[in-house]
Amino acid sequence: MNQWTHDSMQASKRFLVIEDEQDIAELIALHLTDLNAEVTQIHNGSEGLDLALARSWDAIILDLRLPGMDGIDVCRSIRNQGRSIPIIMLTARSTELNRVLGLEIGADDYLTKPFSSLELQARVKALLRRSSVAQQSLSKTDAETHIVHGSLEINKKNRIASLNNQTLELTATEFELLCFFAEHPNVVFKRSELLDRVWGYHHQGYEHTVNSHINRLRSKLEVDPSSPQYIHTVWGVGYRFQLVS
């Protein structure tokens, strides 16, 4: 197994970079160590999956095209194991299909190559902020972290959402998106506002990230995703969460 680790003095975070182009992996690792992190690089999809499941990580940076197993299958396998590790997918392909596919199988975000070091750091920081907010929920009372809308129940402390007493299998970002909507019922949000409020950043052209997560969340939340009860599209504007009795 080819594996390289960059250590930062008293690193507080652990990141896994699965990228077959070693020069790109090295550059990503250097940028991430600026975030006071220990960064491990690996250049094969199958080996990357083994390492992703074998250790605890704060985030995974995952390339789409990999030898051994591609990034889509790596991401899907991680999610099928019930692991909610934040995943950023990297792709050099410009087609929307590949971007959507990466998100539909459970990636939390994506970056299109080439990208700047500042953008990479901003995305990772946003993931870490959301993780920190989730941890802060653990210190709150059940009443403060329990949201009920009809048959939909959300426990922010335990990070469990259920509908009609059936647990919804959500990724970390899907859960955060559902919580945000449920805490702001009947309010219309633009895609750019959702990027700011849920993802923690806004970059022109990445509103498609919101669309993909909305579609995936609807597929798990709605009886008929083509005719949603909860998450409504407000054409030309964005989305609204509708209370259902």
11 shares a domain with 123:
yes
123 shares a domain with 22:
yes
Query: Domain of 124: which CATH number?
Result: 3.40.50.2300
177 shares a domain with 124:
no
Is 58 within the bounds of a domain?
yes
Q: Tell me the backbone φ, ψ of residue 134, rounded to 5 degrees.
A: -65, -40
Nearest alpha carbon to residue 52 among 91, 20, 81? 81
- Claim: this prediction has a pTM higher than 0.75: no
Last residue of a domain, one of 116, 134, 152: 134
Number of domains within the chain? 2
Nearest alpha carbon to residue 154 among 129, 134, 126? 134
Q: What is the DSSP letter of 242?
A: P
Domain containing residue 201: 171-241
Give the amino acid at 199: W
| Token pair of 24 as six digits | 């790109």
Cβ–Cβ < 8 Å for 86, 60? yes
> What is the mean predicted confidence (pLDDT) over 205-234?
87
Q: Give 149-191 pLDDT, tens digit per residue.
A: 888 999 887 788 999 999 998 887 888 899 999 999 999 999 9
Is 29 within the bounds of a domain?
yes
Residue 244 has pLDDT above 90, yes or no: no
Last residue of a domain, one of 82, 114, 134: 134
Nearest alpha carbon to residue 60 among 35, 36, 78? 78
Instruction: Say what the pLDDT of residue 136 is.
Output: 53
Query: Domain of 216: which CATH number?
Result: 1.10.10.10
> What is the mean predicted confidence (pLDDT) over 211-231?
90
> What is the mean predicted confidence (pLDDT) over 12-21?
93
Cα distances (angstroms) measured from residue 53 to each of 28, 73, 74, 100, 132: 21, 14, 10, 24, 21
> What is the mean predicted confidence (pLDDT) over 212-223?
90
Residue 138 has pLDDT above 50, yes or no: no
Last residue of a domain, one of 83, 112, 134: 134
Categorize the per-residue pLDDT at 97 as very low, low, confident or very high, splitting at 50, 70 and 90: low
- Classify residue 139 as exposed, middle or buried by CB count within 10 Å of its CB (0-12, 13-18, 19+): exposed
* Contact partners, residue 1, CB within 8 Å, separation at least 6: 42, 44, 47, 50, 51
Q: How many angstroms separate the CA atoms of 181 and 213, rounded?
A: 13
